[in-house]
Amino acid sequence: MTPGVTAGLSAGSTAGLVLLGIDTGGTFTDFVLRRDGELQIHKVLSTPRAPEQAILRGIADLGLDPAGLGLVHGSTVATNAILEGKGARTLYVTNRGLGDLLTIGRQARPDLYDLQPPPRQPPVPPECCLETGGRLGSDGRRVEPLTAADLAELRAAVVRLAPEAVAVNLLFSYLDDSAERAIVHALPADLFVTCSSQVLPVAGEYERGIATWLNARVGPVVAGYLERLRAGLPGARIAVMQSTGEAIAAEQTARHGVRLLLSGPAGGLTGAAFAAAAGGARRLLSFDMGGTSTDVALIDGEPLLAATGRIAGYPVAVPMVDMHTIGAGGGSIARVDAGGLLLVGPQSAGADPGPACYGRGGQEPTVTDANLVLGRLDPEAFLGGRMALDPTAARTAVARVAAPLGLTVEAAALGIVRIADEHMAQALRVMSVQRGRDPRDFTLTSFGGAGGLSVCALAEALGLDEALVPVHAGVLSALGMLAAPPGRTLTRTRLGVLGDLTDAALDQALADLAEQGVAELACEGQDPAGLRVERVLDLRYRGQSYTLDLPWTGVDATISAFHARHEACYGHRLNLPVELVNLRVRVRAPALTWQLPGMAASRAAAGALRQVRAYGCADLVPVLTRAAVAAGAGQPGPAIVADPVATTWVAPGWSARTDPVGNLRLRRLPFVACHGID
């Protein structure tokens, strides 16, 4: 297959293409179309059982011809396969005596003082764990050979068990991968096989094994999904967002399935950084509130990366955007527990049936239903008027929790919203205050379909007087797909005291790692001369378990920078040698060069669409478009700003204005203009 068909999208590689960013969420699938310098946005309800169906329907709604279409999308297929336990049946191959490695793990208990934790199923059943030879020592020397008899026995066992995928994780394989490669070659050619020396060549046999097993488990699922998508879009160039915020060609995706677990959220952070920077804001404390969950992160010019994360309780030690996720979204279900307490989430109504007000059979009260009851959502302006909301169904659902609490429907709705807001405020504190970051040094930035309804309350909870709701906030993850460059982030362990190494040796080691990333991007049609390489070291004091990542600037300069960073993060520095753990290289092609269209304000846009009642406000509340806000000098709250894909509640005591690209800038006023119950 020619690179021109499957390459990721980058500057200089999109001539003649219509560009489409897609984010597949739990409730909605979002589309941002860029054509002739203009943006067009669209939403359809997701189809979780077959995500490609929503994508194909949305493309048909937009009237697009797949031929000549350049598509980048965030996929939840890998994530859902893990969360729902529906990945491919996978065998785990390791050295003799280590078959129970993934079951034992790190012996860390989720609840430290729970002496009777509930039993948990092992990641891989014992009958699916195979042991063989080929063991290395920590110095890279062969401890046990991998014999022809070992390979024949292993192949026979694999054929007998008939798995869909195989994960190979041998001890210290990051030092020498010859035994893993021999196993791959010995197994049936039509079997999906992945080995740890390709997925995560770093120290830590447990984390490396989990990443390799997850990669094998989701690989066939991702491959099948993309095959169906390509079949429905003949001639289209398809790329997928990785968890690092970089795009990868669809043909390469199945081999890197574990790198897609934060695909959609990474797109949101990329979109937030892109839109906010266009309005002059570069340091953001962001929260992405969708229908099912809320993702919280810090952005300092670009999204920050973490060396590890957790999915479904498993450590995933591949680079990914650094974020904290909670089960609070517009679809989060409210209930009263046995003790009479009102709880919200983490259960969600999702896309099917969705909140009660969607009129699709949902009966449980959700945060969206509560906001509709409070009058913060206009039933006639939801999704630009394309989707009608049912206020009666919302009130009926909220009444189910109001009655046992002895509250009015409105008071119960307010309680639901306040509990959800507190969940999100706590998540924001985790990513800022608990990490030694002052929230006042960042701009609180909300996006996602439901984020604008809570942004003022969250700013108040954090003691902030300003906030930002980016243009196209309801589809910002899809917008971020179009702003993401093709790229690779590669990591390899190299243990040693940094002061004992030379600049030349580390320059060469980093160059060798970069060469791999350059080669992979060249296979996607990217020009090697135009690629940008960033070099990073993971460092720690000798004897520590956790690392800090520092840009590589030479041995002496990097050691000095590590001492300063450690003191800034933890309040002290130590008189100990600085130890190198991992080398990391980020190779990226130039991003698409385009600008957000300016906000076109006109006299025709000025004025409210209508006025509605909102709980707690004595006067009617205006419902405006973002263009109407742009046409004025500023809009005091309370007010509803109804975008085609999201709604922003400008709370009493706040005002809204827009910047030149249409970002909504919110500022807290010194007095409250609305008096009432709230």
Lowest mean pLDDT among 167-171, 276-280, 324-328: 324-328
The pLDDT tens digits for 559-581 are 999 999 999 888 899 999 999 99
Chain segment 110-166, per-residue pLDDT in tens: 778 888 888 888 899 999 999 999 999 999 999 999 999 999 999 999 999 999 999
414 located within any domain: no
Task: Choose one of 212, 242, 263: the last residue of a domain.
Answer: 263
Per residue in 350-371, pLDDT tens?
Answer: 767 889 999 888 899 999 999 9
C-alpha closest to that of 48 among 358, 354, 351: 351
Say whether both 100 and 187 belong to one domain: yes
CA distance 195 to 265: 27
Q: pLDDT class for 291, splitting at 50, 70, 90?
A: confident
Please report which confidence band the pLDDT of residue 525 belongs to, taking 50, 70 and 90 as the band edges: confident
pLDDT at 626 over 50: yes
Say yes or no to pLDDT of 83 above 80.
no
Say if residue 215 is in the same domain as residue 94.
Answer: yes
pLDDT score of 671 more than 70: no
Higher confidence at residue 333 or residue 79?
333
Mean pLDDT rounded to a whole number for the chain: 88
Residue 152 in any domain: the answer is yes
How large is the average pLDDT for residues 537-547?
Answer: 93
The answer to whether 415 and 342 have CB atoms below 8 angstroms apart is yes
For residue 431, pLDDT over 70 is answered with yes
Would you call 86 exposed, middle or buried from its count of C-beta atoms within 10 A (0-12, 13-18, 19+)? exposed
| Structure confidence by residue, pLDDT tens digits, 297-312 | 999 888 888 888 888 7
DSSP state letters, 27-89? SEEEEEEEETTEEEEEEEE--TTSHHHHHHHHHHHTT--STTEEEEEE--HHHHHHHTT-S--
Going from the C-alpha of 621 to that of each of 160, 405, 547, the distances in angstroms are 69, 28, 52
Do 15 and 98 have their domain in common?
A: no
- Tell me, yes or no, whether 213 and 146 share the same domain: yes
Q: Answer yes or no: do 239 and 197 share one domain.
A: no
Q: What is the pLDDT of residues 637-653, one digit of tens each?
A: 899 998 888 899 999 99
Residue 397 included in any domain: no
Q: Is 420 inside a domain boundary?
A: no
Q: Between 594 and 282, whose confidence is greater?
A: 282
446 touches 421 (CB < 8 A): no
Parallel, antiparallel, or unpaired: how do β-strands 302-303 and 294-300 relate? antiparallel
Rounded to whole angstroms, how far apart are CA atoms 475 and 462? Answer: 25
Average pLDDT for 157-180: 95
State yes or no: pLDDT of 496 exceeds 60: yes
| Shared domain check, 68 and 96 | no
* Per-residue confidence (pLDDT) for residue 352, from 0 to 100: 73
What pLDDT is recorded for position 676?
40
Domain finish residue from 234, 263, 292:
263
User: Is the peptide bond preceding residue 117 cis, with omega within 30 degrees of 0?
Assistant: no
Burial classification of residue 313, based on how many CB atoms lie within 10 Å of its CB (0-12 exposed, 13-18 middle, 19 or more buried): exposed
**Amino acid in position 603:** R
Residues 139 and 213 in one domain: yes
Tell me: do 46 and 123 sit in the same domain: no
Structural domains in the chain (count): 4
pLDDT of residue 199: 92
One domain, residues 203 and 102? yes
CATH of the domain at 112: 3.40.50
Residue 531 counted as domain residue: yes
pLDDT band at residue 513 under the 50/70/90 scheme: very high
What confidence score (pLDDT) does residue 351 get?
67
Structure tokens at 383: 């999704």
Q: What is the per-residue pLDDT across 400-409, written as a single tens digit (0 to 9) for each?
A: 999 999 999 9
Q: Which one of 208-212, 235-239, 614-618 scores highest in mean pLDDT?
A: 208-212
Residue 594, pLDDT score:
72
Segment 506-520 shows an average pLDDT of: 94
Within 10 A of 597 (CB to CB), how many other CB atoms are there? 13
Asked whether residue 249 is domain-assigned, the answer is yes
Say what the pLDDT of residue 606 is.
54
More confident residue, 179 or 8: 179
**Among 149-158, 204-213, 378-387, whose mean pLDDT is lowest?**
378-387
- Same domain? For 130 and 186 the reply is yes
Q: Is residue 628 very low, low, confident or very high in pLDDT (cuts 50, 70, 90)?
A: confident
pLDDT at 26 over 80: no
- At residue 153, the pLDDT reads 96
Query: Do 298 and 119 contact (CB within 8 A), yes or no?
Result: no
Q: Which region among 75-79, 85-89, 331-335 has the lowest average model confidence (pLDDT)? A: 75-79
What is the extent of the structural domain holding 246? 3-82+223-263
Please check whether residues 118 and 142 belong to one and the same domain.
Answer: yes
pLDDT at 362: 87
CATH number, domain containing residue 39? 3.30.420.40
Tokens at 653, concatenated: 């005591």
What would the DSSP string read from start to end of 466-496? Answer: EEEE-TTGGGHHHHHHHHPPBEEEEEEEEEE
User: CA-CA distance, 75 to 46, in Å (whole number)?
Assistant: 12
Q: Which residue has the higher pLDDT, 4 or 535?
A: 535
- Residue 236 forms part of a structural domain: yes
Over residues 599-603, the mean pLDDT reads 49
The pLDDT assigned to 404 comes to: 94
Q: Are 292 and 25 in contact (CB under 8 A)?
A: yes
The residue among 240, 343, 333 whose CA lies nearest residue 292 is 333
Pair (521, 574) in one structural domain: yes
Q: Which of 221, 248, 280 is the last residue of a domain?
A: 221
> What confidence category does residue 462 fall into, taking pLDDT thresholds of 50, 70 and 90?
very high
| 473 in a structural domain | no
